[in-house]
Structure 1
Amino acid sequence: MLTKFYQHSLALVFAINEINSNTKILPNVTLGFRIYDSYYYEKMTYRTTLDLLFKSHRLVPNYMCSASKNRIAVIGGLGSDTSIFISDILSLYKIPQFSYGSFASEQRETEHLPFSYHVATKETHQYTGIVWLLQHFGWTWVGLFVVDDDNGEHFINNLERLFSQHEICLAFIQQIPQKNRFNEMTEITNMFSKIYQFLKLSKASICVIYGDNRTMTLLITIVCSLNDDYKELKSIGKVWITTSQIDFAVSRLERGLDLTVFHGSISLTIHTQELLDFEKFLHVIKPYSTVENKFVKAFWKEAFECAFPDSLVTNTCTGKERLENLPDTVFEMHMTGHSYGIYNAVYAVAHALHAMYSSQYNYQSVFGCKSPEFHDPQPWQVLPVSRCSDSCQPGYQKRKKEGEQFCCYEWAPCPKGKISIQKGRCCSTCPEDQYPSHDQDHCIPKMINFLSYKEPMGICLASVAVSFSLITVLILRTFIKHKDTPIVKANNQDVTYVLHITLFLCFLCSFLFLGRPSKLTCYLRQSAFGIIFSVAVSCILSKTTTVVLAFMAIKPGSSMRKWVGKTLTSSLVFTCSIIQVCICVVWLGTSPPFPDFDTKTMTEEIVAECNEGSVVMFYILLGYMGLLSFISFTVAFFARKLPDSFNKAKFITFSMLMFCSVWLCFVPSYLSTKGKYMVAVEIFSILASAAGLLCCIFSPKCYIILLRPDLNKREQIIARKH
């Protein structure tokens, strides 16, 4: 006898006593009960269920031998298998069953328990709890001890899938048969040997146990029966994790065993609530003061290991023994999760009966007569639900069954991106600023996202922009300091300074793209970028054109000499730049960019961005800049071999090749990215192209000015020409 489970019976008695003494629930109706034991055995479960229904003095199946018994509902059993065995008979007579133990497989529940109602949480929630617990402590090497039955197989399959998803590995899986399944002594010996090897040799410090109380009792017996080897196991440092079906309940035979190795075990429990009156109720129970003397005495003898005066044992039960002095493995004073489930099940039946009698009273009040239908309540009337299909949980929607009546349907998960908040409702789309939860049963607000200065990518891009801006300033300072040297004077000194300033502004304009978009930054950033880069490319084009014209002007009788000078270069820079300015003015005057929120591109984020207003004008701006770049590249390419000591065409050719490559790659990259990464692509293109122009055009000159001043002389230049 497992005395710890006697609390289940006491919870039933306590709940019925509360209801019978409550004038607001079932007035003038007294509830009774009968308790039967399943003995963890299929045949006895079927026999006791038949006894409950039909036995008075002798068993006559399908015949009510006693008219005084009005059976309304059955509460049980603790295990899912027991519940299924009971349901096999109860479902024939439409008697509802309230199961207070967790159920492993939803499919088996649907097939075998048509009139069953659960008061405990589903077992699948325990799988998530186990994974969360292992992740919390960083335990990734775990062993399993699992009962060898259908529920154990279901547990292994589900846990293996969850473990693989969360990178938790299984060190071993050991299935434990039930006690009544051992056929030979060799099976017991093999089982002892396997478990001992796993405990002693496996490096896994975490062991998860799944089964029922018999599984735990067998494991305790095996571990504690290892004699001398067991002393060695005390220090192996195992952490045991048990599911809610398992309880550390021991009988008189196991009570003397040393359970040190199981100290510190972690158990998942079913929800309970502390009831102060229940503890007072337990204190009242005494073997000599209770009407049900025989039942209480059997428990008392087993719990306190004593005997009553009518026996020959010397250790006599005095009746003054205190339940609170018993260890938790023998009896607990606070209400356990399973006892709380029984307590709730009794109240569920009582409230259903109360609703039935209230309906009968209303019928009599309206029609002035008694209703024979409700005069003698039948079990099938408790919780009167008549549906072709069961109700569903939020996150699902109805789907009609082919070939069935319109009221017959099945439940399918909501499509991706939709939710259903209430049971039986159709799936709906979340508002634009929210997204569906993982279970698709509620909406979660989206976070506003943009390329911030505070995140690593923003910090990196801003640092690069500042660094190149300072380098540009230093180069410009160097050129101003050595403005009287031949290499600085050559090829229009003013255009060189303008190019320096525009490159400096190119690096700085990248800051218009960082941070949360505002009305001002959206209005300026694309136009500023287009105009500044157009001026820079125009300066390069004018420099290249000057080189070509200068070479052609030195030929005898050439008419090109009149074109060589500052007037041509300045006019070329102004003309090419003003065209881009006109494009930007038209764009800003007709359909300017503005701050906007993109709620559709990203599932869980709202992207704060700049709506370009007119995408056509944006690509016209890029197209014109690309045209200038192509012309500059072409002119520089054909002028790259001209015999001039200060010929910059080679470096300009390479710089424009880099410039064009960057912006050709920009278009597909820009179109294939989403959210803040689109902005990052454009900033990177701005920095890369500007840095290419700066390094390729000015680094050779800086090399001569700073490191080879001997080459920066007029005599040296004339000598090199000849």
Structure 2
Amino acid sequence: MPILHKYYQAGDLTIASIISQSLLISDVVTFRRHPNEEMIHETILGFNIYNNYFRPSLTFQSSMELLSSRGKFIPNYKCDIQNIPVAVIGGPNSNICLHMAAILRNYKIPQVTYAPAPEINSQTQGRFFHWMFPNGHHQYTGIVQLLLYFKWTWIGVVYLSVDSAETFIHNMLPIFIQSGICLDFIEKIHLSSDVAGTIISGIAMYNIILESSANTVVFHGEIQDMTYWRILHRLFEFEEMSMKKQGTVWIMTAEMDFTSVSFQKSWDTDFLHGALSFSVQSKDVPGFKKFVESRKPYLDKEDGCIMDFWEQAFNCFFPTSMVQKAGNVCTGEEKIETLPGSVFETGMTSHSYSIYNAVYAVAYALHAILLSILKHKTRVHRERWILLNHHSLQLHHFLRSVSFNNSAGEVVSFDQTGELVGGFNIINWVTFSNQTFLRVKVGRIDPNAPPDKVFEISEDAIVWPSIFNQIKPLSLCNDNCHPGYRRTKEEGRPFCCYSCLPCPEGKISNQTDTDDCFQCPEDQYSSSDHNLCISKTLNFLSYQEPLGICLAISALAFSFITAVVLGTFMKYHKTPLVKANNQNLSYTLLISLLLSFLCTLLFIGHPDKVTCLLQQPTFGIIFCVAVSCMLAKTVTVIIAFMTTKPGSRIQKWIGKKLSGFIVLFCAFIQAAICTIWLATFPPFPDFDTYSVTGEIIVECNEGSFIMFYCVLGFVSFLALVCLTVAYLARKLPDTFQESKSIAFSMLLFCSVWLTFIPTYLSTKGKYMVAVEVFSILASSAGLLVCVFFPKFYIILLRPHLNKREQLIIRKEWNMKDEE
């Protein structure tokens, strides 16, 4: 089968090219003159272009024709002047390079390819390759960074059955897994000579994509696969099952580009709208667009591609065409710029840019060789090209070390492995209804940039597929776990699939898809949604709140009343009512009640070190004195009735000695307990951050609960003894004896404190303090009312009863009642 599409230009040195697309290769900078009019130091560079139609057999044939004489297929037979190329440019598929190498490596001809580097079996074979394509690892990491940037962790992968795709899948899968990206499906489309079988394979792939919950699909293919992809989309458009209805963001690798065959020129390009693709980093070459638009089929008869392109693009035919078709006759004056982008792009694509740089790389390497030769040679006229041919083996070394600025202002150089030093652009495809499209650069991968600049993306510049209505698409196995929830793995599903559990009490998560909730600081608590920590309010019985104000007013009011009673008793201290039942005990009891009312003020307000030290010991000692006074009063009454006979031995215990001993003895024991408490485990200010949600309880830590309950226990013991004694003496006859009042008051006292214990233990914070304050006020008020109010009433309102005669009359009445 002859190779029809060739392009040959004679020259002193020839650069060959075996490619899968018909492109004019030129080393012209300005594109204002024909390539054969440009000279580099008077040495003309020719070119010999073959189209291999994506077939390995024709790649081999083209390689052998390069080694044959012009117009004769006799490889390696020099029957006349034979111009073996100094270098061969190949692409865009990596397998083309390997097929070329099978022939050309025997002649050590440098091969410059604009395809990604394939898997090479030996280093010797790789020495002849130079890649106008950056290291593929940069593209792999770029795809992962793009997916992670948009949080697309649930994706699909589609690839075609070509060698480069197998390499891509083999290298990418571990990177996906290590980066936390899961694959819903990996679909391979089998390309074969059976068109029907290939289409069936593609339809099966489409159905899988339609049923998948992944909205992002990575598509790896080669440049010719775009044609096949367009056919599949066309089939589904007819069946109203287009991918745009389901909503898919396609991510294409740099090996792919837009291609079209003649029958597809009227097809829509909507399927590309919003897609993202990688491309070799490139820039606009000045003058190229104008040069392309000026091309005419009659300008160069040696171009074997342009006439066929012209007929297919403009739907016409030339009279000299081998196959006459119906339609208009081509004039050659048709305007290339009028063609839609889906038929022909006048701008330089990344593949064309790579070819452009490849030609200049060879030219600069040859120029470097020539300069090296001229330093040692004096005869330099027309024999220069002969010298270059003799030293062409050195081209490998000079190509590897070449570095130059192209006309677009970009530096072109190779690394030690022969791969292009550079990165990738991220392209967003925007299509229009007139079958044109734009390639919008929205990001880049630059491995030579600082770490924080290696990956750059402009999200606002991206146009998404229409179905997403310009809202960033999601591609997740399930919905995000919102703040306030944490992820938990689901058994039997990929690690990207998880359930969401709410954070427990006291913990929050303030980011999406967190693996665990974290504890709020002690001075903060979790909100009801468990998505943020809120500062806790201080909880203590304050003078600024109603409860604290009421208790403080009550304490002051009872203190005032107690002071009034005390003052009244002191004013009427000579009356029989005040003298009865030990006048000094009454004064001591009133003072202790006054102090007990005032000591409650220690419990109100912000606790500090001093108030915490004074609260419980002060309360314990004062109450001990008050209860011991009640006990002394009761014992005094009992002894008084036991000493009614003259000369009784017990009489000497009646009076101040016995009552004073009881009060002092009980107070001493309580003071000793409090001293031990303060010396060993004294109370201190403390913060309880856990008992009440949203509040920090500022409290006085008792230090030792054992000592605290010892203090309460001793007061309770005295109260029970006093209650028992008062109950037994309640029926003793006397005009002003207080046994009944003491019994009733102690019953009230014990009832209050029995109720206090469970209530105190079941409350927290300021309410617990309020319970204790209330208990102190209630029990003290009970003693005050029951013991002193009857006497206070008689002293002020019934003074005629406060007389000795009345005392005798009432005594006689009581004796008669006893009889």
**CA distance change for structure 1 residues 577 and 459 in 2, over 3 Å: closer, same or farther?**
farther
Q: Deviations over 1:681-712 (max 9, x none)?
A: xxxxxxxxxx966454x13135558xx96994
C-alpha distance in 2 between matches for 1:469 and 1:116: 85
- 1:439, distance to aligned residue in structure 2 (A): 8.4
Superposed CA RMSD = 6.2
Higher fraction of helix: 1
Q: Number of aligned pairs?
A: 551
Return the letter of the residue paired with 1:194.
A
Aligned equivalent of 2:772: 701
Task: Please tell me whether the aligned partners of residues 133 and 419 of structure 2 are also in contact (alpha carbons under 8 angstroms).
Answer: no
Task: Please tell me whether the aligned partners of residues 90 and 111 of structure 2 are also in contact (alpha carbons under 8 angstroms).
Answer: yes
Of residues 35, 56, 71, the one that matches 2:49 is 35
What is the 5 A alignment of 1:283-682? 283-290=293-300, 292-311=302-321, 312-313=324-325, 315-360=328-373, 376-377=391-392, 378-384=394-400, 462-465=535-538, 468=540, 476-484=548-556, 485=558, 497-498=601-602, 500-503=604-607, 532=608, 534-535=609-610, 537-539=612-614, 542-543=617-618, 546=621, 560=665, 563=668, 632-644=704-716
Return the letter of the residue paired with 1:376.
H
Equivalent position SS for 1:35: strand
- 1:336, distance to aligned residue in structure 2 (A): 0.8
Task: Please tell me whether the aligned partners of residues 670 and 714 of structure 2 are also in contact (alpha carbons under 8 angstroms).
Answer: no
**CA distance change for structure 1 residues 72 and 260 in 2, over 3 Å: closer, same or farther?**
closer
- 1:78, distance to aligned residue in structure 2 (A): 0.7
Equivalent position SS for 2:49: coil
Q: Deviations over 1:406-446 (max 9, x none)?
A: xxxxxxxxxxxxxxx999xxxxxxxxxxx986989xxxxxx
Q: Deviations over 1:647-679 (max 9, x none)?
A: 999999999999xxxxxxxxxxxxxxxxxxxxx
Q: Deviations over 1:116-174 (max 9, x none)?
A: 34333455555666667778888787654420234334545666667778887756544
Return the letter of the residue paired with 2:271.
F
Of residues 217, 220, 245, the one that matches 1:210 is 220
1:118 aligns with 2:131: yes
Aligned equivalent of 1:45: 59
C-alpha distance in 2 between matches for 1:392 and 1:289: 36
What is the 5 A alignment of 1:148-297? 148-156=161-169, 172-178=185-191, 181-182=192-193, 187-188=197-198, 190-191=200-201, 194=204, 197-198=207-208, 208-224=218-234, 229-230=238-239, 233=242, 236=245, 239=248, 241=250, 242-255=252-265, 258-259=267-268, 262=271, 264=273, 266-270=275-279, 271-290=281-300, 292-297=302-307
Q: Where do 5+ consecutive residues of structure 2 fail to align?
A: 7-18, 379-383, 403-413, 422-446, 456-519, 563-591, 633-657, 686-699, 720-748, 789-819
Return the letter of the residue paired with 1:539.
L
- 1:82, distance to aligned residue in structure 2 (A): 2.0
1:714 aligns with 2:783: yes
**CA distance change for structure 1 residues 196 and 359 in 2, over 3 Å: closer, same or farther?**
closer
Task: Please tell me whether the aligned partners of residues 210 and 246 of structure 2 are also in contact (alpha carbons under 8 angstroms).
Answer: no
- 1:111, distance to aligned residue in structure 2 (A): 9.5
**CA distance change for structure 1 residues 111 and 211 in 2, over 3 Å: closer, same or farther?**
farther
- 1:249, distance to aligned residue in structure 2 (A): 1.9
Return the letter of the residue paired with 1:381.
H
Task: Please tell me whether the aligned partners of residues 655 and 693 of structure 1 are also in contact (alpha carbons under 8 angstroms).
Answer: no
- 1:338, distance to aligned residue in structure 2 (A): 0.9
C-alpha distance in 2 between matches for 1:539 and 1:2: 107
Task: Please tell me whether the aligned partners of residues 285 and 348 of structure 2 are also in contact (alpha carbons under 8 angstroms).
Answer: yes
Q: Deviations over 1:45-103 (max 9, x none)?
A: 23423433565565666777887636443322111222333345555555443332345
**CA distance change for structure 1 residues 542 and 475 in 2, over 3 Å: closer, same or farther?**
farther
- 1:211, distance to aligned residue in structure 2 (A): 1.1
Equivalent position SS for 2:347: coil
Task: Please tell me whether the aligned partners of residues 207 and 239 of structure 1 are also in contact (alpha carbons under 8 angstroms).
Answer: yes
TM-score (norm 1): 0.58
Return the letter of the residue paired with 2:705.
F
Aligned equivalent of 2:160: 147
- 1:268, distance to aligned residue in structure 2 (A): 1.2
Task: Please tell me whether the aligned partners of residues 155 and 217 of structure 2 are also in contact (alpha carbons under 8 angstroms).
Answer: yes
Higher fraction of strand: 2
Return the letter of the residue paired with 2:112.
F
C-alpha distance in 2 between matches for 1:571 and 1:703: 27
Task: Please tell me whether the aligned partners of residues 73 and 95 of structure 1 are also in contact (alpha carbons under 8 angstroms).
Answer: yes
**CA distance change for structure 1 residues 294 and 154 in 2, over 3 Å: closer, same or farther?**
closer
C-alpha distance in 2 between matches for 1:52 and 1:279: 30
TM-score (norm 2): 0.52
Equivalent position SS for 1:74: strand
Q: Deviations over 1:516-572 (max 9, x none)?
A: xxxxxxxxxxxxxxxx5x545533563587489768997985765675899998999
User: Which structure would you say has the larger Rg?
Assistant: 2
Return the letter of the residue paired with 1:266.
A
**CA distance change for structure 1 residues 570 and 652 in 2, over 3 Å: closer, same or farther?**
farther
Equivalent position SS for 1:33: strand
Aligned equivalent of 2:12: none
**CA distance change for structure 1 residues 34 and 571 in 2, over 3 Å: closer, same or farther?**
same
Equivalent position SS for 2:188: strand
Task: Please tell me whether the aligned partners of residues 158 and 188 of structure 2 are also in contact (alpha carbons under 8 angstroms).
Answer: yes
C-alpha distance in 2 between matches for 1:307 and 1:26: 38
Task: Please tell me whether the aligned partners of residues 94 and 116 of structure 2 are also in contact (alpha carbons under 8 angstroms).
Answer: yes
Return the letter of the residue paired with 2:297.
P
Task: Please tell me whether the aligned partners of residues 475 and 702 of structure 1 are also in contact (alpha carbons under 8 angstroms).
Answer: no
Q: Deviations over 1:626-649 (max 9, x none)?
A: xx9685334124445445377999
Return the letter of the residue paired with 1:45.
T
Return the letter of the residue paired with 1:635.
M
**CA distance change for structure 1 residues 501 and 97 in 2, over 3 Å: closer, same or farther?**
farther
C-alpha distance in 2 between matches for 1:351 and 1:454: 69
Aligned equivalent of 2:494: none
- 1:113, distance to aligned residue in structure 2 (A): 3.7
**CA distance change for structure 1 residues 112 and 709 in 2, over 3 Å: closer, same or farther?**
farther
Equivalent position SS for 2:46: coil
**CA distance change for structure 1 residues 26 and 477 in 2, over 3 Å: closer, same or farther?**
farther
- 1:278, distance to aligned residue in structure 2 (A): 0.4
- 1:276, distance to aligned residue in structure 2 (A): 3.6
Q: Where do 5+ consecutive residues of structure 1 fail to align?
A: 395-420, 424-434, 441-449, 504-531, 581-627, 659-690
Q: Deviations over 1:24-55 (max 9, x none)?
A: 99534333322223332233323423433565
Bigger CA drift: 11-20 or 308-317? 11-20
- 1:208, distance to aligned residue in structure 2 (A): 4.7
C-alpha distance in 2 between matches for 1:655 and 1:536: 23
Q: Deviations over 1:482-535 (max 9, x none)?
A: 2243899687667654554452xxxxxxxxxxxxxxxxxxxxxxxxxxxx5x54
Return the letter of the residue paired with 2:554.
H
**CA distance change for structure 1 residues 324 and 490 in 2, over 3 Å: closer, same or farther?**
farther
Return the letter of the residue paired with 2:48.
R
C-alpha distance in 1 between matches for 2:287 and 2:757: 93
- 1:277, distance to aligned residue in structure 2 (A): 0.5
**CA distance change for structure 1 residues 352 and 65 in 2, over 3 Å: closer, same or farther?**
farther
